[in-house]
Amino acid sequence: MNERQVIEYIVGLAGSARNVDLLSGIGDDCAVVARDEYRSWLLTMDTLIESIHFDSSFHPPEKLGRKAISVNVSDIAAMGGAPLFVLLSAAMPRGFNQDWFKAFGKGLAAACDEYGCLLIGGDTVRNPHGFAFTLTIIGQAETKEVVYRCGARPGDTIWVSGELGLAAAGLHMLSSGIGEDKQHFAAIREKHLNPTARVGLGQALAAAGLAHAMMDLSDGLATDLAHICTQSRVAGRIIGNDLPGLATLAAPAHFLGADPLDWAISGGEDYELLFTADPANSTAIHRISEQCELTVTPVGDILDGTGVTLVRQFADGSCREEAVTYRGYDHFRADDGGQEVA
């Protein structure tokens, strides 16, 4: 079974029975559960396992603690909510490095303070294979403002926040040891080590009712846009030259012999927001982004049909539209070799 088949099997176990308070279950960035007449709880969980999701040889523990919170809060942001509470399960080897763990905890606590959430409990257990951390974050949002993946409409513009592909480039440098002496690449490495969840932008877009569909970019633009398109029953078209970050990636890509467009399309771990909106609202969206001190960029459009395509543009002015077949990381696919470190 691959990862998608595992998820589908678990969905089947959940059955068709529903609780009246469950507004959205498996299949979005968060589960949505009614809290009262006007508000809903948002619940999300993620696991970081040593040598799969992080490499302690180059990932400082304090930054890893902050990242552990940020990648979960990013799911809350993608639904337009605010994070409130955190549960932490820490699995550690016997005789673990106490200084390393305390530094991890310091980063985790600082991130909770930054995002305005509170660590309220969890579990500790021994793990003979290294560190593993599972976090559950509980947030909330106005029920009428929650943004799902399923609302994209033909004619919508596709938007992304920030720059794409920098986290993938940073991971390439860190895992290979190439370019670590290049100080001007430090900000790119930092995008992998220490991402920031776009909570303010997500809340502002949701409150204004401007985002028809939204999710965070964890698996790469192509894969995550495919999730939105599948759930919305539409097609997506990406304009390659419009992707933000290509200029920033040019130098490291040349240095590492990589393709900056590939990083931007399929790199993953950007933790920016991907959303679709009516093109008539472009001015309002840019105004919100300025208030949040964060750039947003239109990168394509939503069409009738299925699937995701990329318009690749060449120096001679010609274009080619091609199906995007990138796969997100699959923990159980044989050719992934069991290693992610991402």
105: Cβ–Cβ under 8 A, 6 or more apart, which residues? 65
pLDDT category of residue 338 using cuts at 50, 70 and 90: very low
Supply 292's token pair: 């949040």
Q: What is the pLDDT of residues 82-112, one digit of tens each?
A: 999 999 999 999 999 999 999 999 999 999 9
> Residue 342: its pLDDT value, please?
46
The architecture of the domain spanning 149-336 is Alpha-Beta Complex (3.90)
Half-sphere exposure at residue 108, Cβ-oriented, CA atoms within 13 angstroms? 23
Q: Are strands 118-126 and 82-92 parallel, antiparallel or unpaired?
A: parallel
Q: What is the mean pLDDT of residues 13-23?
A: 76
Residue 43 has pLDDT above 90, yes or no: yes
Confidence label for 159 from pLDDT (cuts 50, 70 and 90): very high
Say whether pLDDT at 326 is over 50.
Answer: yes
Cα→Cα distances 17→25, 231, 283, Å: 11, 20, 43
> Nearest-CA neighbor of 51 among 33, 70, 64, 40?
64
For 124, phi and psi rounded to 5 degrees?
-130, 145
CA distance 109 to 60: 15
The Cα 334–Cα 332 span in angstroms is 6
The pLDDT score that the predictor gives to residue 330 is 62
Q: Is 271 left (phi over 0), alpha (psi -120 to 50) or beta?
A: left
Is 271:134 a contact under the CB 8 Å cutoff? Answer: no
Q: Minimum mean pLDDT among 95-104, 144-153, 156-165, 316-325: which range?
A: 316-325
Q: In what order do the strands lie in the sheet with 82-92?
A: 22-24, 31-34, 39-49, 132-142, 82-92, 118-126
* Nearest to 232, CA basis, from 139, 301, 304, 144: 304
Neighbouring CB atoms inside 10 A of 21's CB total 11
What digits encode the pLDDT tens for the residues 285-310? 999 999 999 999 999 999 999 999 99
Give me the pLDDT at residue 33, please: 96
| Three-class DSSP labels, 2-14 | CHHHHHHHHHHHH
Q: Look at residue 5 in the predicted model and tell me its pLDDT.
A: 76
* Residue ranges of the chain that CATH labels 3.90.650.10: 149-336
Amino acid letter, residue 313:
Q
Supply the pTM of this predicted model: 0.91
Q: Under a CB-based contact definition with an 8 Å cutoff, are residues 139 and 76 in contact? A: yes
pLDDT tens-digit map of 188-246: 999 999 999 999 999 999 999 999 999 999 999 999 999 999 999 999 999 999 999 99
The CATH number fitting domain 3-145, selected from 3.30.1330.10, 3.40.50.970, 3.40.50.300, 3.40.50.1820: 3.30.1330.10
* Residue range(s) occupied by CATH 3.30.1330.10 in the chain: 3-145
Alpha helix (H) residue ranges in the chain? 3-14, 61-78, 98-115, 166-176, 186-193, 199-208, 221-232, 246-256, 260-266, 282-291
- Predicted local distance difference test score (pLDDT) of residue 253: 93
β-bridge partners, 47: 134
